Amino acid sequence: MSVPADLLRYLERHGAGRVVAVQSGEGGHRTVGEALARLHLASRGYPLPGRSPRVRFGRLIPGWVEVLREARAFGETLRSSPPESAWPLFEETYAYYHQLAQAALYYLLDHGYESLSQELRRYGVLAHQMFAPRLVAWEDGRVVFLAPDTWRFDVPTRDVAHYVRYVLAEEGPKSALAFLRGYAEVRPFVAEEGPFVYGILLLPYEWVEAYKRYRDRNVREAEARLAARVHRETEWAEAVREFREACSAFGWDVSPIPWFEATRTVG
């Protein structure tokens, strides 16, 4: 299901800037940030579609709680299976990633996730949820936001956090910060958004994707995904720490989870 035509017309009337000139590198990420902020602000005021499942305000934590419940049941099934059915890497890393996910959820709750979800409804509400460079189409040196099946009505910080997460992993803190600078020029952040972004960075999405592939018996792909995450855990923790410390430039005072930022081994 794509973004409905009436919403696209609404965005165009309110100056969404669906197509913008871009540069490569940090300049390109900064431009994407500016354009994303315009898209969020342009969607402000669009009437939400009632009880539609597309409305996802405040659903991040309940969704993760359900996934963790399923993963725990799956792990218990593995432990009662015969040895030839065991998947050592999943079992060895389960306790660490389950604990990390729980810590991230408590962190979000402790730092006002629920009240922030309500406060940010007055800003842009059109979100991709898992926004990343793959949702940006490059055409003749210009960028066009795609309208994927995953679009939702949600807090704008969800898009910001996931783009930061992707770019931080692929290119490092400088590119992630360039994106934030571009976004903040159009829609300045509120202080509470910093912990929201940090909480998203803590959530082990790669572990969840690996678990789902284990569950579906795609063992080879699951092992590859999980091994890749485990291999770079220390590098990721260091990147998150460096990014967090630099975020004061946006008025964010983000308290860390020290044991995560000091990670050296998993399992």
The CA distance from 225 to 238, in Å, is: 20
Tell me: the pLDDT tens digits for 211-242?
Answer: 888 888 888 888 898 999 999 999 999 999 99
Res 160 pLDDT > 70: yes
Domain boundaries, the chain: 5-261
Class at the top of the CATH hierarchy for domain 5-261: alpha beta
Res 3 pLDDT > 60: no
Residue 59: which residues within 8 A CB-CB, separation 6 or more? 154
Task: Quickly state the pLDDT bin for 156 (edges 50, 70, 90).
Answer: confident
The model carries a pTM of 0.84
Buried b (16+ CB within 10 A) or exposed e, 118-134: eebbebbbbbbebbebe
Tell me: the pLDDT tens digits for 235-252?
Answer: 999 999 999 999 988 989
